Amino acid sequence: MKTPFVKGDKKVVNAWAIYDWANSVYHLVITSTLFPIYYSAVTHAGGVQTVKFLGFTFLPDALYTYALSFAFLVIAAVAPLLSGIADYSGNKKIFMKFFCYMGASACSLLFFFTDVSTLWLAITMVIFACVGYAGSIVFYNAYLPEIVELKDQDRVSARGFSYGYIGSALLLIINLVMVTFPQWTGLTGDAATTMATRFSFLTVGVWWVGFAQITFRRLPTNPMGEVKKGQMKNIWKGYQQLLKVWRLLKTTKRLRRFLIAFFIYNTGVRTIMLVANLFGSDTLHLDEKQLIPTILIIQFVAVIGAYIFSHIAKIKSDVFMLKIAVFIWVGVCIGAYFTYTAKEFYLLAFFVGLVMGGIQSLSRSTYSKMLPETEDHASFFSFYDVCENVGSVLGLFLYGWVYDLTHDMRNSIGFLLFIFVLGFIMLNRIPKNKLVNT
């Protein structure tokens, strides 16, 4: 007879957190640093102003943004279906593996993006990598309440984010050494730096898949111990589960109001994560050598922030610390509006890192602890991820729209300031009494 799974198993918890170490390299290397720089260099080579994709003409940077937005929309639409199926099948791990391998493979295939003639490959792989990353996170997050006791979820959530920040920063440093000193890896000639950059995309895929094996080896297939047989015949069961979650949210005031607040303030957080370098290069006119240290500052400080916020949340409360985090984000936006030098930008990066680590880990664990007694965690967390992904689409669009209207990104920062103020107001509307459900 199989021994039932016991929550809090140290090996399982550590293996779960290692997946953040594995997959966060996608966000840092592919989304935030090396790939956007490489993409811009390739698509603007020879003074190119526009590119063609699927018969349409785009500005290169706009096409990249649209690709990411499309990927977020895809995962927002598909994740509820897949997560519902995973809950009924009792096997979230197989879906987590599928999306992990999809994302890692797409990152590796970016190696073959060499010039505008292979732009179609780059855009396609950008979409698949984003869908793979976001899709695996749905199931990864859904494991948290199933493997960890309620009292430990803040700490474990913070550990996962910390692993992610450290691991991704470590690979980025390795990649930067490869790109800066390509001769150390045996590459020579005029194209050595370009080749080293392309090899960095391969390392992301290998790193992601390789460390994920630790997670997949230890993580239980079905920690809740139940499988609802006979339900998989109907592929719409996933959406029926999502509808069930929606009905429950309508009658659960604390959870509903938290999700509304989360959707609002996280729209700002995700937008800043995706456009920080753009603001630095476009508005402050910082070069690559100045922008990359900024990302490293954010990564390492975020580790400290995740633990600080988790520790204080035990003394005060999760919602209280989320209010503090959003209040600091308001200060960050005000500071960004009046930032003009590289030193000021680095100081801003410090506070962004401090609050980014705290708000991400606390948001996940707060939501997890507010969930009602259920075995359908993936369906609930698909709601959470839909909020994240739709917020990303909305935030990017509005940020770009304001910039397009005013031709000044400082005005777009003003829009983000409004978002965080609204999020703070909504956090204040969450009932303090845990027994309030209507």
Cα 31 vs. chain centroid, distance in angstroms?
Answer: 10
Average pLDDT over residues 2-28: 82
Give the residue among 350, 349, 352 at the shortest CA–CA distance from 325: 352
Confidence at residue 270, expressed as pLDDT on a 0 to 100 scale:
84
To the nearest whole number, what is the mean pLDDT of the chain?
A: 81
Confidence at residue 435, expressed as pLDDT on a 0 to 100 scale:
46
Cα separations in angstroms, 44 against 37, 61, 115, 409: 11, 10, 10, 21
Q: Tokens 């590119």 identify what position?
A: 51
Ranges of H-type helices in 219-317: 237-250, 253-282, 288-315
How does pLDDT run across 292-317, given as a tens digit for each residue? 777 778 877 877 887 788 788 888 88
pLDDT at position 436 over 50: no
Are 334 and 351 within 8 A, CB to CB? Answer: no
Domains of the chain: 10-427 (1.20.1250.20)
Residues in the chain: 438
SS3 category, 351: helix
Residue 51: its H or E element = strand 51-53
SS3 category, 221: coil
Partners of 52 in beta bridges: 57
pLDDT grade, residue 4 (50/70/90)?
low
Confidence at residue 434, expressed as pLDDT on a 0 to 100 scale:
57
How far apart, in whole angstroms, are the C-alpha atoms of residue 96 and residue 296? Answer: 28
For the ranges 24-38, 44-58, 246-260, 324-338, the lowest mean pLDDT is seen at 44-58
Average pLDDT over residues 21-43: 85
Are 220 and 147 within 8 A, CB to CB? Answer: yes
Q: What is the DSSP secondary structure assignment for residue 115, as one 8-state letter?
A: S
Percent of the chain at pLDDT above 90? Answer: 19
Average pLDDT over residues 403-413: 78
CB atoms within 10 A of CB 77: 12
Confidence at residue 129, expressed as pLDDT on a 0 to 100 scale:
95
| Most confident segment among 186-190, 232-236, 268-272 | 268-272
How does pLDDT run across 100-151, given as a tens digit for each residue? 999 999 999 999 998 888 989 999 999 999 889 988 887 888 788 777 877 7
397-406 long-range contacts (CB < 8 A, ≥24 apart) are 397/69, 399/271, 399/275, 400/62, 400/65
More confident residue, 215 or 182: 215
How does pLDDT run across 357-371, given as a tens digit for each residue? 788 778 877 887 887
